[in-house]
Amino acid sequence: MHNFRQSFEEGHAGFVCQTGIPVKTNEPWAPVIVTKEQIDDEISRLASLPAPGNGRRSSLIVHPAASLATPGLAPGIQVTLNVLKPGEQTVPFRHNATEVNFCIQGRGHVNIAGKRTDFGRYDVWNMPSWVPYCHGNDSDELMVMLTYTNVPLLQHMQIHMTEEGEAITVAEKAAVEDDDSINPRRISPYGTFQLTDEGAMLMPYEKLINPPVVESNPLHWPWKKVEAELKKLEALGQDYIGRRLYLLYNPITGRTNGTTPNFFATMTIRPPKIVDRPHRHASASINYYFHGSGRSSVAGNVYEWKAGDLMLSAPGWAVHNHASYDDYVYELTIQDQPLTIAMESLLWQENLKEPAALLGAQMGFDTNRG
């Protein structure tokens, strides 16, 4: 990581005239389903390999439209299939990406900055950025998990930083200074102040490089507790047009409604024969179905899925809806909604007969719950 000197090839920037040229249209990725059978085969293959030096038996699940330089299942979402055999443990690792982890088979534990958390099947936990962690399997069966990260975006920006091994060092947290002990030489004599009547302001460098700190903690959402709350949503009845789900909410994300600053993770229960109302949004959506079966209609195309399938179910701004068949459906959904809210880019159209709204900057939508 400490590459203080680098060699660069000489290059020259140029001009690309856009005069009179229409803005380039988007090219959304097609929905794809990675079937349970494909996932099971890859789990078996990973488990058959000799133990790797870093302990991580992993495969990226990559969309056919993805660039080799930024492999993801959606343009900004990378999904990794991870396997640990009984008694195995990964070496410490950290990167400047945030993660959502989801156990789909077996059980294990994660050690995050020295704190151990045990997890079981269908549990979810987040991983803050730049915090060292390792996973272990103390059980007598395979542990399998899916990991969702914003790595493709960081790779596109050429800023994905990683460290691995026992030698990872973590800087001690600096003590918060009392007002009386602040060194005046570190503080601009003018501070942050309003420049115009409309509210434009100026901020000095000292404040620019020392923004307010919000502590990002690892959180754990045990499936048994989440399931009990989901079952209460059944009472909303057939006439309810909202989706029966809960966001696994991380309070540090505030108004962007996330599990991490990049993603939300929601757990959904779909009673039998429920059909969602078609809608669309700028955020991409990936679903893992772990009970029941059904179909998704995406931009006029119908895709059938079943328990154990993983699906890029909604490319950004594609009209879509989902329907359950004869059994209850449970699913984990990952969307990059918090990132798009922070970028002031999250267009959302809950009802195709009504205008879209820019969520986070404009009023959102109501459901019909009394």
Tens digit of each residue's pLDDT (9 = 90 or more) over 313-351 = 999 999 999 999 999 999 999 999 999 999 999 999 999
- Which of 43-54 are b and which e, b meaning 16 or more Cβ less than 10 Å from the residue's Cβ? beebeeeeeeee
Is the per-residue pLDDT at 176 higher than 60? no
Q: What is the DSSP string of 166-216?
A: TT---PPPPPPPPGGG--GGGS-SS-SEE-STT--EE--HHHHTSPPP---
Domain boundaries of the chain, sorted by first residue? 32-164, 220-358
pLDDT at 79: 98
pLDDT at 199: 97
Are the C-beta atoms of 328 and 272 separated by less than 8 Å?
yes
Which residues, listed in sequence order, are joined to residue 294 by a DSSP beta bridge?
Answer: 305, 324
**Comparing 148 with 190, which gets the higher pLDDT?**
148
Give the chain's mean pLDDT: 93
- Which of 191-219 are b and which e, b meaning 16 or more Cβ less than 10 Å from the residue's Cβ? eeeeeeeeeeeeeeeeeeeeeeeeebebb
Q: Do domains 32-164 and 220-358 have the same CATH topology?
A: yes
The mean pLDDT of 54-80, rounded to a whole number, is 97
Confidence band of 174 (pLDDT split at 50, 70, 90)? low
In words, the CATH class of domain 220-358 is mainly beta
Determine the Cα–Cα distance for residues 285 and 322; give it in Å rounded to an integer.
12
The mean pLDDT of 255-261, rounded to a whole number, is 97
Confidence band of 365 (pLDDT split at 50, 70, 90)? confident
Provide the whole-model pTM. Answer: 0.93
Which stretch of 53-67, 139-153, 156-170, 337-351 has the lowest confidence by average pLDDT? Answer: 156-170
pLDDT at 335: 98
- Read off the pLDDT of residues 294-314 as tens digits, 9 standing for 90 and up: 999 999 999 999 999 999 999
pLDDT at 181: 55
Determine the Cα–Cα distance for residues 73 and 78; give it in Å rounded to an integer.
6
- Read off the pLDDT of residues 230-242 as tens digits, 9 standing for 90 and up: 999 887 777 777 7
pLDDT at 185: 64
32-164 topology per CATH:
Jelly Rolls (2.60.120)
Confidence band of 168 (pLDDT split at 50, 70, 90)? confident
Give the residue among 119, 180, 182 at the shortest CA–CA distance from 146. 119
